[in-house]
Amino acid sequence: MKADHRATLLQRQIFSPGLFSVTFSCPELAQTTRAGQFAMVDVPDRIQPYLRRAYSVADADPAAGTVEFLLKTIGRGTSALERLPEGSAVRLLGPLGNAFTVSDLARGARVAIVAGGIGAAPFPMLLKALARAGVSSDFYFGGRNARELALAARFAGSVTGEVVLSTDDGSLGEKGFVTQALARRLSGGASYARVYACGPMPMFAALAKVVRPAGLSSEFSTEAEMGCGFGACLGCVIPGTEKPFIVSCSEGPILSPEKIKW
């Protein structure tokens, strides 16, 4: 059940300037969160940011009682968390939203995880869940340049299949978009029981064109600016195919690409 939890910042790890993780002590949230869900993070006593921020839970350790977020410094919320002293108290509202589907996959199945930049955020926990289910995961991780892929270090040792890195400028891994790297392997005969993806909207639009003709089951973790995170403000809608708007926080954030109007 979702609740507003007190949490304490235990640790911050910097991967490169502006790319970091924060780990909080928050036992209840650590026990209740499933891969793909998110929390609304409130850094207290601030005029700005006024609203909470929605961040995917990157990983949760029920035994240690910790939850981790992978973040990129973009606006006031992430800047505040980049500077927040260790030991500080925050509030975490969660777990919110739906989760990635894992339970329907057969042992021995193979899936692809496609991440664009900070879109890698929800995947450490998913990789663990897939590994527990005996599912092999190929991890496609793309960014504009090598610096954007500094988070790859966070995934060392946790990917059970192939790691495919790509950069727009070719400074690391394959040159081009991560969706092109996936398309090349699919046309080379690779097959996946599911494609999990998280990244910017242009990446989703390109990926939808790759997975839909191939008839691949897909789950996209969408991003929208959220006011509340639990379906009250209706600020985070995404244009839909079955109805005008999908409420990203309460009906998502994990959505099938067929439901999204591109």
CB-wise, 49 or 65, nearer to another protein? 49
The CB density around residue 73, as the number of other CB atoms within 10 Å, is: 17
Instruction: Count interface residues toward another protein (CB under 8 A).
Output: 31
Note whether 233 binds another protein by CB under 8 A: yes
Q: Quick check: 236 binds another protein (CB under 8 A)?
A: yes
**Interface with another protein, residue 34, by CB under 8 A:** no
- Decide whether 30 or 228 has the Cβ nearer to another protein: 228
Quick one: which of 74, 234, 258, 262 contacts another protein (CB under 8 A)?
234
Cα R_g (the chain), whole angstroms: 18
Of 27-35, 127-135, 139-147, 241-249, which segment contacts another protein by CB under 8 A? 241-249
Place of tokens 């092999």: 136
Q: Per rule CB under 8 A, is residue 232 in the interface with another protein?
A: yes
Position 228 contacts another protein (CB under 8 A) = yes
Side-chain-side CA neighbours of 232 within 13 Å: the count stands at 5
Query: Per CB under 8 A, does 26 bind another protein?
Result: no
Closest residue by Cα to residue 43 from 95, 83, 3, 16? 83
Query: Of these, 17, 170, 202, 239, which contacts another protein (CB under 8 A)?
Result: 239
What 3-state class would DSSP assign to 141?
strand
Q: Does 176 bind another protein (CB under 8 A)?
A: no
Strand blocks (E) in 126-231: 136-143, 163-167, 174-175, 194-198, 218-221
DSSP letters spanning 49-103: S-S-EEEE--EEETTTTEEEEEEE--SHHHHHHHHPPTT-EEEEEEEES-----T
Residues 49-68 binding another protein (CB under 8 A) are: 49-52
Q: Does 201 bind another protein (CB under 8 A)?
A: no
Which residues in this chain contact another protein in the complex, by CB under 8 A? 1-4, 42, 47-52, 76, 93, 224-225, 227-228, 230-239, 243-245, 250
